[in-house]
């Protein structure tokens, strides 16, 4: 069991493998803040870095770093990735070459499907 406290003071206790992704920027506002995906309907903002958070919960080796269409990094829980595919026409902004499904999150990334698959599998994915 692990825990975190959000920037607004909410406490969460959770199983570490429930985290599906972590980012270092809020995708909606662009704010530079670590966002944890998979524990609540919306990302949880926390006051520690992505690397510190993943190390603290003992999951760093399971997270593959890829790049969102806006150029910011996203760390995905590789063993939890269910699918990688090419984007549908007009589905993601220019530069999105692969779409990754992990838990309830669907994320476009700039890496092509083969590169994304290789990175995911290098961190324990089974694709």
Residue 94: predicted pLDDT: 74
Residue 65: predicted pLDDT: 98
Domain assignment present for residue 65? The answer is: yes
pLDDT for 7-58, tens place per residue?
999 999 999 999 999 999 998 899 999 999 999 999 999 999 999 999 999 9
pLDDT for 67-123, tens place per residue?
998 899 999 999 999 999 999 988 877 778 999 999 999 999 999 999 999 999 999
Domain assignment present for residue 9? The answer is: yes
Domain assignment present for residue 71? The answer is: yes
Domain assignment present for residue 106? The answer is: yes
Q: What is the CA radius of gyration of the chain?
A: 14
Residues 97 and 88: beta-carbon distance below 8 Å: no
Residue 95: predicted pLDDT: 79
Residue 68: predicted pLDDT: 93
CA distances from 8 to 4, 47, 105 (A): 11, 10, 23
Residue 90: predicted pLDDT: 82
Domain range for 22: 2-122
Structural domain total, the chain: 1
Q: DSSP letters of 8-60?
A: TS-EEEE-GGG--EEESS-TTT----EEEESSSSSPEEESS-HHHHHHHTT-G
Domain assignment present for residue 127? The answer is: no
Distance from C-alpha of 92 to C-alpha of 96, rounded to nearest angstrom: 6
Which neighbouring-strand residues pair with 108? 99
Put simply, whether the predicted model's pTM sits higher than 0.85 gets the answer: yes
Residue 92: predicted pLDDT: 73
pLDDT at 6 over 80: yes
Residue 89: predicted pLDDT: 86
């Amino acid at each position: 069991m692990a825990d975190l406290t959000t920037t607004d003071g909410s406490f969460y206790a959770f199983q570490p493998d429930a985290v599906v992704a972590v980012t270092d920027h809020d995708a909606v506002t662009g704010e530079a803040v670590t966002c944890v995906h998979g524990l609540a309907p919306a990302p949880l903002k926390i006051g520690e870095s992505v690397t510190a958070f993943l190390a603290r919960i003992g999951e760093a080796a399971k997270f593959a770093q890829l790049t969102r269409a806006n150029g910011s990094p996203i760390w995905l829980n590789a063993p939890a990735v269910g699918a990688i595919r090419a984007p549908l026409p007009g589905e993601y902004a220019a530069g999105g070459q692969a779409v990754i499904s992990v838990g309830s999150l669907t994320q476009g990334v700039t890496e092509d499907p083969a590169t994304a698959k290789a990175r995911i599998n290098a961190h324990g994915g089974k694709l």
